[in-house]
Structure 1
């Protein structure tokens, strides 16, 4: 059994370069540990595997490293803004006190109420016709029943279209009148501000505190009622030639509260079961 030792030693000599820290397997696993060799020489302490060099962060491309731009030359001194002379305006209060605004709101509400009453009567008629058709089902043949159901459905569809058109016309009239009032209000605000040498007008809800002389609301309300006492609305059922676009209210506030939306036509009634 003695001749086997030289063979083992020779095999170990062949494997040492592969398993050594510089070998291929050691490169793939730097933490591989090599035990000291027995026999055939003095054993050496195992060396700790060499750590791979820490990868240096990549530098950004050269084009990204730009030299700082020089500061622009200062501009020549300009005219300073004038001293602020502030006025306060409460647009919702002006609208509440406006005769034109109140008359438009009342007329629009009357038209909406008439539309809602007509819609309720039409719905009652639809239900009555559906009940009558259901009671006559046994006395009609299938062709007659289909014909009656089709006629009833066509009348319902046409009526719904008419109510949608009326509702749209009322909305256009309300928006057109409101825009006319807002335009007149903007002109009056500028006139009153100029008469007081005011160059900055703020809405009252944005101001926490102000003295009475800053508030221009009462004077503007009186002037608005003098220049615009009412707004002429087109007859009911006739929409404006050009629908008015929604405009922002003066004074930096949201648009004024508009009349309530028209009633939505009801869902299409179900056809009687055959």
Structure 2
């Protein structure tokens, strides 16, 4: 690896820290920088930061996309573009080789959605009155009814639950600069009842005084990893390859299928980017189109 990459990487990281970039963003940008430098060392020995051309960047993007994914190519290119804009401003390079290069096109990931019958099967595995079953039923109901992200679910506290008004107060995704995004998430009667049953059972837990909402069976709290493992385990019981984000896609899909409008869905889901809304709705768009046509079928009206 050309030594100038290591030298400039430290200074660039200092600038990013000063600008308040989130830790995950810093990690992604550092990986992108290191990967580009190592790829150049292997494919174009002796090429330093000031020698990189558009052709180098384009070839590297193709390499990342082919070896990893379009998503990785997109996020890493964003980091390299940020680096070169900083390097030009600092006078370390004369030309930004990322100038004029388009961000790599996104791939078209699809996350399967669950049927109502599958959700009922999952809840059927939590049918007893034990602490574990009541906790897991409450988590599944909140996932399905509130469309929460995994981190939002794991971060809930007892004080965030309002069973009287059937609301959860959620701290969503944000940045170090703008701070977290907070929103109120409404719940239905069944989800609220499942939460109420869990809260009554929770009062007898040895660590009931802790502020975190979800408690472990033997340990203190149930974090994101614990919630994820629980969901996977419940899925295995009914023959599903399940992960928590499927609930959010299912929630969004069912909301649109039931006639909910897109503006309300963006507010309820905590989205500020229209592209994310389109991505979530795309999975079931074909199914909705087929249902609509069955109601409007021209042949049936002849």
- Give the TM interval when normalised to the shorter protein: under 0.3
TM-score after normalising by structure 1: 0.22
TM-score after normalising by structure 2: 0.20
Q: Which has the higher contact order (CA 8 A, sep 6+)?
A: 1
Greater percentage in helix: 2
